[in-house]
Amino acid sequence: MSSSSLSRRALLSAFAATPLVTTGIGAFPATARAEAEGAGLITPNVCMIAPETTAGPYYLDPGLVRQDTREDRAGAPMTIALQVVQPDCTPIGNARVDVWHCDALGNYSGHARQGSDSTSDTSGETFLRGTQFTDATGTVRFLTIYPGWYRGRTTHVHYMIHLDSDRALTSQMFFPGALSAYLYRYAEPYSDRPAEQDTTNDRDGIARRVGKGAFAQVREMEDGYHAALVVGIGT
């Protein structure tokens, strides 16, 4: 093993043990961000091996290779950056990454009888779905909106990473609970909903099972929010 691989592995282990990672709050000091950047990572919030989760009932493959997934959906603008790496933090290039999530009102595109009221029909629609291929740093970026919520689940974004035709990882990324609560109470169109979010991060079974390494680092920017997550894949 090369010295660079050893140093990356040591850095990953150090990040994984920090209280900031285990709390999943999505904020890191400048020193940690600088160390991550020096190791070629987009965030210190490192998940050594991302745990598998269910794709849920709302996965579709519309074949939309695009960066901007918003279409006509209103909501707080957000950029999602996912970096796909091996366990020693070596980037994985040219991996296909699919993302999908609900809109501000809790509805997914392309399905009938869904959403919190189980009556919404978005058959034939493709909003908030997209595919990108990782670059040489193992990174993809999507332009979307901050997800809403639906009954029984906390705020999340689904992703599926295809290494080849036979190997894929399906998992979810999660978000700081305080930010979700703020947006849902004060920002339109999230605040237009008559009900309040019924499931928070600590009550969501999937979020608890995958652990705090699945929480994105979220930063507020001039043009919206930026969510970043490093996804480790065992090969």
Q: What is the pLDDT of residues 85-137, one digit of tens each?
A: 987 788 999 999 999 999 999 999 998 877 666 678 888 999 999 999 999 99
Phi and psi (nearest 5°) for 190?
-55, -45
Containing H/E element for 181? helix 177-186
Q: Which among 196, 137, 135, 134 is positioned nearest to 160, based on CA atoms?
A: 134
CATH among 2.60.130.10, 3.90.800.10, 1.10.3080.10, 1.10.150.120 for 3-232: 2.60.130.10
pLDDT given at position 90: 86
pLDDT at 39 over 80: no
Question: In this structure, how many other beta carbons lie within 10 angstroms of the beta carbon of residue 18?
Answer: 15
- Does residue 197 carry a pLDDT above 60? yes
Q: Where are the domains of the chain?
A: 3-232
H helix and E strand count, the chain: 5, 9
In this prediction, residue 27 carries a pLDDT of 57
DSSP assignment, residue 60?
-
Phi then psi for residue 78, to 5 deg, are -150, 135
Q: What's the pLDDT score for residue 106? A: 93
pTM summary value: 0.83
The DSSP bridge partners found for residue 230 are: 46, 83
- Find the helix or strand (DSSP H, E) in which 227 lies: strand 224-232
Instruction: Judge contact between 50 and 169, C-beta under 8 A.
Output: yes
